[in-house]
Each structure stands twice: as C-alpha cells, then as structure tokens.
Structure 1
Amino acid sequence: MTADLAGAAGPRGTGPLAGVLVADFSRILAGPYATMLLADMGAEVVKVESPQGDDTRSWSPPLRDGVSTYYLGVNRNKRSIALDLRDPDDAAAARELARRADVVVENFRTGGLARFGLDYETVAAGNPGVVYASITGFGSQPDGAALPGYDLIVQAISGLMSLTGDPAGEPFRAGISVFDVMAGLHATVGVLSALNLRHGTGRGQHVEVNLLSSALSGLVNHASAAVAGGVVPFRMGNSHPSLFPYEPLPCADGDLIVTAGNNRQFRKLVEVLGVPELADDPRFARNEDRTANRDELRPLLVERLRTRSKAEWFTDVIAAGVPCGPINTVDQGVAFATSIGLDPVVTVGEGGAAVPSVRNPVTFSETPPDYRLPPPALDEHGAELRRWLSAPAGVPVGEAGA
C-alpha cells in the first residue's frame, strides 16, 4: 500500500485503512461522503478540486466562520489540491496521483475523465492494483449515462416520492439527499471489498455504483412488493403497510412514535396503556388483524395516550419493553444521542480552526476512526502535494524538497 504521503500535513491515520492512498476526484455528496468514511478509517485522502472548488463550498446558508456547513459535513480528514485538468501540467499531476493511488473515486459524467487520461482503463494500465470507483446517477450504459444524476431526480424516478407524503396530498422528497448518502455507502462497501480481494490477487478492479440502483435496493420491502408480489406500493403518510401500530400517535402535548412490531410487544403496550383486554380482542390479536383493523384500533390507543404527555408515556412505554420515541428536531436528536452516551459530536482540528463534526458511526475495538484534519481550504495542501507528485515515488511528501 502507498504510505509515503502520511504525515504531510497533520498526523498519520491510525485506523484499519492506515497507509491506503485515496485519490478523490469526486464532488458534492455521494463521493465525498464515501471518501470521508475511508479517511476516518485511516486512509490518506487527497481531494482534487477544480480551481473553483467543490460546488458545496458555496452552498449556504448555513455557514460556520464563512464556510458552508454542507461542505464541512463531508470533507474532514482530507488534503486539498486544486488542479485544472485542462492545463497540461495539472493534468499530468492528476495522472501521477492516480498512478500512485490505491483507490480512485470519481463521479464525473461517464467518460468525462477519459480525455485527461484519468478513466479506469488508462489508470489501470499504469496502476493494475488500483481500485477505481465510479459513482453515477443512472449507470454507464448509453441511455443512463446521458441522464443528469441528481438525488432529487432519482427520488422521483425510483418511486420514493410516490411513497412519501400525505395520502391525500402531493408526493414529497425525503428531508435529506437519501440516495446520495446510500450510494456513498455502497461505494464504500464496494471499495473495501475490492481492496480485500486485492490482498490475494494483487490486482484492482473497477467498482461502479449508481444512484438509481442504490435507490431500488434501498426501497427494500417496497421494491420487493413490486418485483416479487406484483403490488404497487402507495403513499400512506406515516403509516406502515404491514404493521400497526407503527406510526406517530398523539399524546396530550404532541406525537409519540409507537412501534409494536409483534404480538408480545402489542400486549405489553396495551397493558401499560391500561387497556389489556385489547390484546385478546379477535380484531387485534395478531399483527395481520391489527393491520386490517387499524381504523378501529387507532382511536382506542389514542384515547389512552391523550391522557398524558409524550415524555411521560415515553418513559413508561419504553420501560415496558415497547419501542417508542418522540419526534425531535435535529438538535434534539443530537442532544438525545449525547444523553445516552453515544458522544455524537467530535471536534476536528485545534484552536480557531477547530470544527465540530458528527462522529463516524462505526466503532472498532482495536483501530477506532480518528479525526486528524479539519475540512481543508481550497488548495490548502497544493504546494506540498505538487512537490511530492514531482518527486520519485516512495519519497514522503515532507521530504520532497522545498
């Protein structure tokens, strides 16, 4: 693995991917999220940007110290170099980076990097061990490659929006770019799988991920209903097509999510609500009965829940062993995670450059993720990286000359 970049501008990664060099030619969300996860696990990530920078640098509000929090959220633990691929010298530096890299990640339009000699076939010819990950919107076949790959478009085309929103209202997008994130996760899984195979073969491969395939996989039970059951799922608001109760239910001061996913949990729920007889009512005895008769059961549960606050019911229903939870704002969600010991916020960097960030969700007993570099300014490490790329391979960047 290529470890000669380590120590260039901050401490070396110590996680399970320590020594892996990632050339990150991606921007916006799916690719940068994937490379940040790899960086958290110890990989040395070089973020290649155009002279104008990653688009998300200017996506605001909100801002922190004049920098977009969108950009800050997916770019820690990276070094930035600005390269104009239309410039021969910059293109040569980019090719040298790809030649030295263990992993290349890109989300250009299909074929967009070929004219710079940075497509998979060209890079692999000089670097047969490279794991080269391409993230597109709709795949690399001609018809799909011609389509613009934006998360919102994929939410619409995949069918997700047809499932989201009030049954009597219009389709809604998800509150986050859910398929960008999902594709980034799938790309990470693909890269790690290919690196594992490379240990035995010495050869890399081309890993391809597209947002639409990630979307259809992520629709799980709904996609299965369509392809295996011949059923077209429909919008049900906050209701679940196969379970009840599994939705917000109103208490005296707001809604509480209640998810009694099996008969045992339902019996415990109605006991704590003070209506144990409902568990033996033939209309509600089994999950399929409760689902079919939800319009009869819901008001009976709500009648009891409205007698107390959501906080009071949350305490008692959880104590009874039934999953439930209040509907929080994002800051309240972070606070709740803190209250149960998850330590969701980490500080990356020191002094005035320190940036609060959301902790990597994976824990390792021996090689935990580390948070060594704050999200870089545009071309922050450009000079030293250019020196390193012009020096012979194997020379650490800090020793590549002045």
Structure 2
Amino acid sequence: MGALSGLVVLDLSCHLSGPYCGMLLADHGADVIKIERPGGGDEARGMPPFVGGESAPFMLWNRNKRSVALDLKSEDGKAAFRALARTADIVVENFRPGTMARLGFGYEELAAINPRLIYGAISGFGQTGPYRDRGGFDLVTQGMSGLMSVCGPADGPPHRLPIAISDVAAGMHLCVGILSALEARHRTGKGQFVEVSLLESALSYGVYEAAHVFATGEKPPRIGQAHRGSSPYQVFETADGWITVGAAQQSFWMSLCAILDAPELAEDPRFRENSDRVANNAELVEVLSAHLRKQGSAHWLAALDAAGIPAGPVLDFDEALSDPQVLAREMVVETTHPKAGPMRTFGVPAKLSMTPGGVARPAPALGEHTDEVLASINEPA
C-alpha cells in the first residue's frame, strides 16, 4: 500500500513528460490508467531499443500502469471516458492547449461532472501567452530556455543535454503541482486545474544562470566544466581516467593542498579564498591537473575520501547502474514483462519509511486492461 493508494489517475499523455509524471504517481501506489488510442497507442511504443518486440524506454517510464484503448473521437469512447472521469481523482494530459476542450474533455467540462477532479496539463509553452499554440519538444525548449547556451565547451556551438531535461523537469513539476492540489482538496473538497510547460520547467533549472543575469544584467558566459560560484568544483583528468572533485569549501581546499603536497597553493593570492579561485579558475585547473595526472583515479579517490573531500569517479551509464551504492539503494529492480520477459528497470528514488513506493507491475501491453477497467464502470458501488 503506497502513499497514494486509492487514487485513480487517468493518464492520456504520451511520449515522456506526462507519462513520467504518471510513473511517479504510480510508483507510490496510485492506480494509473493509461488511456491510449486503439491500433497504435502511445508513439513511444515505437522507440528503440526493443526487447522482445517491446520498447525498452516505454517500458521504463510506463511501469505500474494499466492500459485502456479508447477512441476518444467515437461516441462510445467518449461515453466510457466520461464515466471514468466522473469518479477519477486526477487526469494527466500533454496535448497542445485546447485539444482536450475540442474533444469535450477540457477542465471545465470534466470539473462540471466531477468537482473534485485535479486536472494536470503539460504543454510546450503554457496555456497562456504569445506562444500558447506552438508545439514544443524537449529539444526546442532546451534551446529557448537558455540551457543550451551555457552547455558544452567555452568555445563552439550550443550543446543539447543528451538527457531530456525539459520533459523530465515538466513531469516532476506537474507531479508536485498535482500533490499540492491534492493537499488543497483535503481542505476545500474541490479539485483544480494544474498546468506546467516544458519551457518554464527547463528555465527553472537555470538557477545559477538566472542569478547571474538578475545580479549583473549580463548574459552568463559559457564556462565548460567550471562552476559559476565554487572552485575547485569540476571534472579533472588523472593518469588513467577522470574524477570529480568538490573542494571549494575552505577546509576542503586546505586538505586538498595537503594531499597534493602543495602547501604553496594555499598561500597563493590567486587561490587563497573561494572567490579568488573562481576568478582564477582557469589557472587553478591547469595547476591542479598537472598534479592529478601523476597518479591514477583510485589513488586520488582514496586520499580524497580519507580527507572527507567530496569526490567520485566519472562512470559510464552501465557502470553507474551496477555501482554498489545504487544497488544497495534498490535503484535497479527486476520485473517480468509478459512479452519481453525478465527486465531491469529503475527503482523509486523517494524512500518513504511507512508507505514505500515500488515497482509492482511491468508496463502494460496496449489495451491490456481495457475489459477489466471498463467492466468496473458498470459494477455496483
């Protein structure tokens, strides 16, 4: 029994942003019913790589859900969805603004038959404003949010983050909004409309960059691996690989100088305080790199750990997913899909002591639970 057990969510969303929100709710016990179009379903079902003919990405962020195939343009489909919405707690969708209203299922229409309904919507640019009607993808909003402008080496073209940061951020913000609306419903008895956009979600992650603009009125420069307010705080090359070192705190900096057997660095006016090191980060990195390249990563990580300085290896994803800390925290769990067979998937990051979340079921096949769910509409209360 997860913390959200008993809540019914109708998830009409597709691709990643909305389904990610639905996954978070399902992981903590909500009954998330994924409403899909008959014949094809969520287009993410066609996203490679495939295992047993099933999309691995789709299976990861649609676990713990049930699938119902409904044609929302047909009268029967409309009637079935309306019946489900009448008793549901939450609706999630990520269509362009106005799409659901044209189908007869906008917030106003659904709230009229279910005043307690919490309606969550994700769009590219929001339900208002001059860009309201534009389609938005993660790629587009990464560029428009400023994130691309500060990613990558100091010289060269803008870099897209290889992770879909706008999508995932929007899914998480919508989940927070829905849970906030749920708490408000406990007090008022009424649901409400909750909306987020990919653009605003991506923009909100640029906290250091926004602070720079607000404080100086100037665009923040691209600084590669460096940190805007802390130094040393970045990736360094060793004799056999790469490590991260976060030694900006003064006590850590002094310990680092001792580990490197370079006490003169602590007295160098260019590097004496954190603000000095930030201003002269390029010179500092050159000096530190020369020291760190003398030994392998294991040597430095052991010394840094013994001194209590935050540091770590730079792992590839396959290494990260087999790391002992990740495994100990159950962030990789196994499930069995009816078609793909035994599968590994992410565990649940938020650990609740009394009502923990978990992975109770694999991602559903298209329409797998249609008969089961629709039969419940006509069951006596």
| Shorter-chain TM-score range | over 0.9
Deviation at 1:339, TM superposition (A): 6.3
Deviation at 1:353, TM superposition (A): 4.0
- Of 302-311 and 292-301, the range deviating more from structure 2: 292-301
Whole-angstrom distance in 2 between the partners of 1:180 and 1:339: 24
Are 1:280 and 2:267 counterparts? yes
Are 1:347 and 2:330 counterparts? no
Q: 1:356 aligns with which of 322, 325, 344?
A: 344
Whole-angstrom distance in 1 between the partners of 2:265 and 2:215: 34
Q: Which residue of 1 aligns with 2:83?
A: 96
Q: 2:313 aligns with which of 313, 326, 330?
A: 326
Instruction: Please give the per-residue CA displacement for 1:274-293, whole angstroms capped at 9, x wherever unaligned.
Output: 11231122221101111122
Query: Any gaps of 5 or more consecutive residues in structure 1?
Result: 1-13, 395-402
Whole-angstrom distance in 2 between the partners of 1:119 and 1:211: 20
Deviation at 1:243, TM superposition (A): 2.0
Whole-angstrom distance in 2 between the partners of 1:193 and 1:339: 29
- Contact in 1 for aligned 2:242/2:297 (Cα 8 Å): yes
Instruction: Please give the per-residue CA displacement for 1:56-113, whole angstroms capped at 9, x wherever unaligned.
Output: 10011x1222211110110011000111111110111111111211011111110101
Deviation at 1:206, TM superposition (A): 0.4
Instruction: Please give the per-residue CA displacement for 1:227-248, whole angstroms capped at 9, x wherever unaligned.
Output: 3431211211111222221111
Instruction: Please give the per-residue CA displacement for 1:94-147, whole angstroms capped at 9, x wherever unaligned.
Output: 111112110111111101011222110000011000111011110112522221
Q: Which residue of 2 aligns with 1:177?
A: 164
1:2-401 alignment runs, 5 A limit: 14-51=1-38, 52-60=40-48, 62-141=49-128, 143-338=130-325, 341-349=328-336, 353-392=341-380, 394=381
Q: Equivalent residue of 1:209, what SS?
A: strand
Whole-angstrom distance in 2 between the partners of 1:340 and 1:294: 36
Identity among equivalent positions (%) equals 44
Whole-angstrom distance in 1 between the partners of 2:319 and 2:150: 26
- Contact in 1 for aligned 2:65/2:363 (Cα 8 Å): yes
- Contact in 2 for aligned 1:337/1:343 (Cα 8 Å): no
Q: Equivalent residue of 1:113, what SS?
A: helix
- Contact in 1 for aligned 2:347/2:358 (Cα 8 Å): no
- Contact in 2 for aligned 1:354/1:374 (Cα 8 Å): no
Whole-angstrom distance in 1 between the partners of 2:278 and 2:337: 53
Deviation at 1:184, TM superposition (A): 0.5
Number of aligned residue pairs: 379
Whole-angstrom distance in 2 between the partners of 1:391 and 1:117: 25
Instruction: Please give the per-residue CA displacement for 1:286-316, whole angstroms capped at 9, x wherever unaligned.
Output: 0111112223322221222111101221121
- Of 200-209 and 269-278, the range deviating more from structure 2: 269-278
TM-score by length of 1: 0.91
- Of 167-176 and 253-262, the range deviating more from structure 2: 253-262
Report the CA distance shift for 1:22/1:337 in structure 2 as closer, same or farther (over 3 A). farther
Q: Equivalent residue of 2:109, what SS?
A: helix
- Of 196-205 and 251-260, the range deviating more from structure 2: 251-260
Whole-angstrom distance in 2 between the partners of 1:282 and 1:116: 67
Q: Which residue of 2 aligns with 1:3?
A: none
- Contact in 1 for aligned 2:237/2:243 (Cα 8 Å): yes
Whole-angstrom distance in 2 between the partners of 1:354 and 1:265: 45
- Contact in 2 for aligned 1:46/1:81 (Cα 8 Å): yes
Q: Which amino acid aligns with 1:322?
A: I
Whole-angstrom distance in 2 between the partners of 1:350 and 1:184: 24
Whole-angstrom distance in 2 between the partners of 1:237 and 1:301: 17
Aligned-residue CA RMSD (Å): 1.6
